[in-house]
Amino acid sequence: VVVVLAATVAADLGLLLLSPGPLRFGLALPLLFAFPGYAVVSGLFPARIRRSGVDIDALERAALALPVSLGVLAVVGLVLASPGAGLTAGGVLAALSGVVLWGSLVTVLRRGRIPADRRFDPSPGALVDGVRSLPDRFDDGTEAGATLALAGAVVVAAVSVGAAVAVPPEPAGHD
């Protein structure tokens, strides 16, 4: 969580100080699509095992970061688009950074109340272990195929959004 918070501050500074270009675009992507979702998911699931006994590992947390970030982004957009608020890049940046800050604070407070042996370990090794355990998670090829198809669809959607943002269409009538 501390790494996500530090990366958010670095992205904020880069977005405020850099001129528009590929580096600024690259800094905006995780702030839009990863950091808010990861902070919220970490706050919701501070322990390794939920009370119902379902294990939420690093891979699943990383996978949940994108859809939760999209949900946060949609809510931020709706709130800022309301009359009187004004939907601006600075407003979106401030709101998303606020979500990351509050999510990180909630995570630190909730993890502090959990015994050390039950706390989630956010190390890169935990993510690698989650990836290595993928073949053991599927009972048959159908479930694995559906999961791979969904992952492929997410990648195609992310690339499409990235391309649409990076290369906006030319205004009509300027031949």
| pLDDT value, residue 122 | 79
- For the entire predicted model, the pTM comes to 0.73
At 23 the pLDDT is 86
In sequence order, what are the beta bridge partners of 55?
A: 49
Q: Looking at this protein, which amino acid is placed at residue 163?
A: A
Distance CA 62, CA 86 (A): 31
CB atoms within 10 A of CB 118: 11
CA 8 to chain centre: 11
* pLDDT for residue 35: 92
Beta strands in the chain (DSSP E): none
What parts of the chain have a pLDDT lower than 70? 49-55, 134-145, 147, 161-175
Predicted confidence at residue 90, as pLDDT, reads 87
Provide DSSP, 6-62. HHHHHHHHHHHHSPSSHHHHHHHHHHHHTHHHHHHHHHH--BSB-TTS-B--HHHHH
| Residue 57 contacts residue 81 (beta carbons within 8 Å) | no
